[in-house]
Amino acid sequence: MKARVGFVSNSSSSSFLVFIHAAFVPTSVDDVMKDMRGVVPGMVCPDQYLGRRTYTYRDVAETLFADLQTGDITDDKKAHHAFFHDLPQMMNIVQHTYHVAVLSDEEQEKFDKRLFTLNRLYRRKVLTALFKRAADGDFRVYRFDYGDESGEFGSVMEHGDHWDRMGWAVIRFSHH
> Do residues 11 and 163 touch, judged by C-beta distance below 8 A?
no
Predicted confidence at residue 106, as pLDDT, reads 84
* Phi-psi category of residue 130: left, alpha or beta, with phi > 0 → left and psi -120 to 50 → alpha: alpha
Q: Which residues pair with 56 in a beta bridge?
A: 44
Amino acid at 58: R
Q: What's the mean pLDDT in 146-171?
A: 86
CA–CA separation, 75 vs 38, rounded Å?
A: 32
Q: Tell me the pLDDT of the chain averaged across its residues.
A: 82
2/118: higher pLDDT: 118
- Which residues touch 2 (CB under 8 Å, ≥6 apart)? 47, 159
Task: Give the model confidence (pLDDT) of 22-77 as tens digits.
Answer: 999 999 999 999 999 999 888 988 876 655 678 899 999 999 999 999 999 999 99
CA–CA separation, 128 vs 123, rounded Å?
A: 8
Predicted confidence at residue 113, as pLDDT, reads 84
Predicted confidence at residue 175, as pLDDT, reads 72
Domain limits, the chain: 13-174
Predicted confidence at residue 11, as pLDDT, reads 62
CA–CA separation, 67 vs 113, rounded Å?
A: 37
Q: What's the mean pLDDT in 96-107?
A: 63
Task: Give the model confidence (pLDDT) of 2-23 as tens digits.
Answer: 333 444 445 678 888 899 999 9
Predicted confidence at residue 48, as pLDDT, reads 65
Q: Which residues pair with 17 in a beta bridge?
A: 143, 171
Predicted TM-score of the model (pTM):
0.77
